Amino acid sequence: MGGGGCAGGDCVQRCPCPTASDVTTLVLVGKVGSGKSATANSILGFNAFASEYSYTSVTATCQMGSTMLSLGNAAPRTVQVIDTPGLCNMNLTTQDTRKEIAKCVDMSRDGIHAMLMVFSAASRFTHEDAGTIQSIKMFFGEKIVDHMILVFTHGDQVGERNWRSRMLTDMNAKHLQEIIRVCGGRVLLFDNKSSDEMQQHTQLSELFDAVDSLTARNGGKPFSNQMFAQIQEMNVRKEELCAEEHSAEDKLKSQKEIYDGYIMQIANMVEEKINSTIQSLQEQLREEQKARQEAEEKVTAAMLRSEEETQKLRENLEKAREESEKAREESEKAREESEKAREESEKAREESEKARQFYEKFKWMECTMM
């Protein structure tokens, strides 16, 4: 699958228009200045798109280029590359952004084999960079990450040796490591300035090995969703309307009107999708906040119960200590009383013994006197 339309003069080709089943479609997305257009040109093998280092987007609108590519002993393949403006830098609620996303979806309406998320390896990977993935997921849905490949440009500035291991072990790049994990470890380094044909061939081979592996992992099918199917149906109706015109001038005028209306329809679908996604995210956020609040309330209640139980335990221990002390005192008192009774008993015995002895002595004296 692959092969969208070439509309509005935004298509550059170096091969005959292919059929959808013959095309490998790649969409490049990233922030302004990341090197999307230069990477697109490197893939195509010619300068289809304007490319220069800039803080403002050089690519003003979605553009598509295609070429026939031969790598090693593999059969030639038609590659379709869609270069996008800095969609990740734009406000997703603006009409221009919706229109550009609509063009991108129209150009790739037969499916996206790989979405190349382009970042500069020469710049620090930030939380904002990580947010670009979320922006793409907001429109295309969660499944798009299964078709993502991370491409880092400016390979000439970072050096090829050990770059991957450095990237994966950098403790200051947790956002990057998380994105790499989400994208299944699919990471490539591109040097778009290299004139070394061997290096150019190697990095293209690595890219399409990753694309083919990705496609195979996804059942041999490109990324698509319900919106893509709806756009395909809309495109068929658009072509049928265009075919009804007879005058070349009328046909040209009608095609433009139909195309503008067609793009507007897609833009409206994009807006509905974004609004639906935002609503879903807001609902998810509310549920997470509710769950967090309930968890906090449970923790607070548990802490209060724990404090109450601790206080109760402390009181019980104090009571037990007091009772134990009282019992000890009573035991000591009983021991003292027992000792006193023993002493009194001993004294009584001694007095009894003295009385007996006195009695016996008295009787003896009485017997003697008689």
We report the CATH number of the domain holding residue 120 as 3.40.50.300
> Does residue 301 belong to any structural domain of this protein?
no
d(CA 3, CA 10): 14
Region 29-50: mean pLDDT is 87
Measured from the Cβ of residue 4, the count of other Cβ atoms closer than 10 Å reads 27
Q: Which domain holds residue 200?
A: 11-222
**Is there a domain that residue 48 lies in?**
yes
Question: At 71, which helix (H) or strand (E)?
Answer: none
More reliable by pLDDT, 232 or 58: 232
Residue 198 lies in a domain: yes
Q: Which of 36-45, 108-117, 259-268 has the lowest mean pLDDT?
A: 259-268
107 confidence band (pLDDT: 50, 70, 90): confident
What per-residue confidence (pLDDT) applies to 98? 73
Of 243 and 261, the structure prediction assigns the larger pLDDT to 261
Q: What is the DSSP string of 78-146?
A: EEEEEE--SGGGS-TTSHHHHHHHHHHHHHTTT-BSEEEEEEETTS---HHHHHHHHHHHHHH-GGGGG
Position 146 in a domain: yes
Q: How confident is the model at residue 214 (pLDDT cuts 50, 70, 90)?
A: very high
Q: Could you give the percent of the chain with pLDDT greater than 70?
A: 75
Residue 1 reports pLDDT greater than 90? no
Any bridge partners for residue 223, and if so which? 112
342 compared with 51, residue with greater pLDDT? 342
Domain assignment of residue 134, yes or no: yes
Average pLDDT over residues 341-367: 79
Domain assignment present for 308: no
For 104: left if phi > 0, alpha if psi spans -120 to 50, otherwise beta; the answer is alpha
pLDDT band (50, 70, 90) for residue 217: very high
pLDDT at 55: 44
Q: Is 354 domain-assigned?
A: no
- Output the pLDDT for position 349: 84
What confidence tens digit (pLDDT) does each residue in 271-323 have? 777 777 777 777 878 888 888 888 888 888 888 888 888 888 888 888 888 88
Provide the mean pLDDT of the chain: 78
Can you tell me the distance from the alpha carbon of 315 to that of 311, in angstroms, rounded to the nearest whole number? 6
pLDDT digits (tens, 9 = 90+) for 134-191: 878 877 888 899 999 999 998 887 766 667 666 666 656 777 888 888 889 899 999 9
Question: What is the predicted pLDDT for the residue at 10?
Answer: 59
Centre a 10 Å sphere on the Cβ of residue 7 and count the other Cβ atoms it contains.
18
pLDDT of 9 > 50? The answer is no
Identify whether 187 is part of a domain: yes
Specify the amino acid at residue 144.
I
Q: What is the pLDDT of residue 41?
A: 92
Percent of the chain with pLDDT over 90: 17
Q: How confident is the model at residue 212 (pLDDT cuts 50, 70, 90)?
A: very high
- For the chain, the domain total comes to 1
